[in-house]
Amino acid sequence: MAWLECFYPDVYLDSAYEIDFEALYGRGFRGIIFDIDNTLVPHGAPADERSIALFERLRRIGFESVLLSNNKEPRVKTFNDKVHSRYLYKAGKPARKGYLAAMELMGTNSDTTLFVGDQLFTDVWGAKRTGIRTCLVKPIHPKEEIQIVLKRRLEWIVLFFYKRSLKEHGGKHGDKR
């Protein structure tokens, strides 16, 4: 199923909050692009103490960040008012345009940027098409809009083959960065 590899994340973790951002900074990463809903907080939820602390930590480390969302501005701005990042709304993920605009805002390029999101067919695919290293995280909460629920069923198939590929290759995927 090699054609599925365009949807494979570079890293798959339980949560955005378990990423070793200090190590990434040490490896030369300087910008992080985040999805919001079900990546940082449950769908539609406001920024919480954990997400606020994460963005404070990223600033202390030296990271630039951008929230990249397909939501309308009121949703994204309300979240951002608490975490104080840059943001792009109605981003049109998986189109490359939003990812490129995010890197421009941060002054980074595809080699120094990480994308963190919870969906394969929008978040991961768009970032990979732009050459950005990807971190897929498990959705925070199971309650989602119907169109996302339907996509999740297809994601299960891709993740099955992704996990099988990892086992066949000793737990490592083909990314060398």
The tens digit of pLDDT for each residue in 49-66 reads 999 999 999 999 999 999
C-alpha dist (Å) from residue 129 to 7, 62, 101, 143, 156: 9, 26, 14, 28, 21
Tell me if 129 sits within 8 A of 92, measured CB to CB: no
87 has a pLDDT exceeding 60: yes
pLDDT tens digits along 91-121: 999 999 999 999 999 999 999 999 999 988 8
pLDDT tens digits along 4-34: 787 889 999 999 999 999 999 999 999 999 9
- Could you tell me the fold of the domain covering 2-168? Rossmann fold (3.40.50)
161 has a pLDDT exceeding 80: no
Tell me if 113 sits within 8 A of 32, measured CB to CB: yes
